[in-house]
Structure 1
């Protein structure tokens, strides 16, 4: 960073920050970078110095001046191709006062353009936080932008982030200008002195004359301007004074050339007699005169027309100025008299109402005190009302619980339900006992039958054994 030309922060219109950051800026005498002779000088091989921290996002110049410089810096970053035409619908390029004043398209459109442009610059600076959406919360978007600037080393601004939600003003221009300078510094961009091209007016004038002559030969309409008087005087003086210089420029005569004898004094003072036929001379003049005329196209940028306009305006001003001066002096006298009367009347009114003004100031002070105490008591009353509402809700809840418990205690329905349940259980137990008795009797009969059958079988077996 020491190899690049710098300007102090005061010259860029940026408020100095706590750590004294240095920012690249246009050279002295040039309010914005010029397209002519402006070139980037990347220093790829040289090691980059660490970025300065504590940069400021606030400016000391007016927003319109900062906005003009910002547009030129964005053009150096080629924002028209990389930002405006990156995706459809295409965005319009910025005007010279877009963020300096409120735009007619609306605050929301202007703020969304600012948020998108700031996000693009943050992505170029290496702090990509994502592209904002049109219907996002403006306060959250402003906080994200300032957090991204803080990550890059910018000092926190002295204003609230909600100031950026307006979409225009000093704060908007300061944030965008700071990010643009940071990106240019990161790309090792260097401001150099402009290289002015040589003045090619003679060639351009000759080309215009040739084109005009060609147009006259083809019959195209062209405007004929009379040659100014000062040009005729210069040509006559050059013709009278420049013969010797032309002879010296031509050099010595070639060998065998015979110089004409120098005219004597008598011949120079003698009366010249023309030997040319006047009729032939007039015919030659009529034939050659159209070709000798200078035909120039009407050009509003021609310095000759500007000079003639200046002369005309000067004559008009010199003609009107004496009368206007008298009227202006008279008007100045009347204004001075009126101003003196106003000042005298103002002093009189101040003297008359001085006591009333003091009383008004005292009443205003006491009103402020009473208003402050009223506000304090109003806040206290609102707090008490909030507490009262909370206690009332708790009381209503407790009353509901107590009513439910009292209703349950005074009601005999549960006891009746218990008695009916006991009676129903007794009946079910009686039915079960009857069923148990029937089953027991059935089992007893079955066992008796089985016992008898076994005894009969045993007796039959014993008889068989006896028989055998």
Structure 2
């Protein structure tokens, strides 16, 4: 991009940054942004990426996102304030999406903004500042210059400036006007010197170059080639030195790595053994986890059965606490006692009847025996 703009393209972002700072001051960013985040005021070239400007990528990126989010909100679109834990790529992508929503063409990737400084950062903030100023109804006016002074200066410049064509016309001399004899000067040298000093500023010849001339382009090509050649020589020396330094550093790293591997070989063996033990422990843990799962399922089944038993016991206990069955049992016992008493009386009557019958039968048998036996002398009959 700098090559397309010309040799002054390198300094273009310095101008953009200075204009951006003026726009931010108009929007009162010092009170609304810097004071809110407890940050100091920016320098004129704060977001410029240059070896001559000190940079702090972390602070610049945070301030860039803070100012961008504030400008988007001022321009009328809601945008959350940045936080320290936000992902940088997502933040800059959202900022570019909002910039495109304003109709601004963006032809660079989001990672160009992650550095927090550079031409792209200045471009984004400048376009957002323009949208914010437009939203607040602010517009820049062209400067007004005194008309008369400008006209006088233009007349003086026109008189003092002679183009190449006018010089050629003045130089041309008509052949018929050439003198046939040698002319002798009759002018005083002092007066001539004064006249020369008077008209010397008006004799300034300005040859306006044509940008389409191939000779100019050829000269520019030669200048660029010489500049590239000179820069290449200097850069090549730096690159060769850098290559040597990198080679030495790599050799040191390789030797140090070999030394570390030698010193830590037994620790690496212990680490591998520990890894093997860890793998075995994980397998045992998985097996135990499977057993625990099965036991947990069985425990759930037993708990369910226990709940059912408890429910049945509660139902039976509630039924046993009722007094109706006890009353029925008492009534049955009373009735049973009455029946037992009656049965005892009947049994006593029956036993008495049997005893009388047995006694009667015994008496009858004794009578019969005495009746059938012969009477003995001296004995009186019984009776």
TM-score by length of 2: 0.35
Q: Which has the larger radius of gyration?
A: 2
**Larger helix percent:** 2
Q: Higher relative contact order by CA 8 Å / sep ≥ 6: 1 or 2?
A: 1
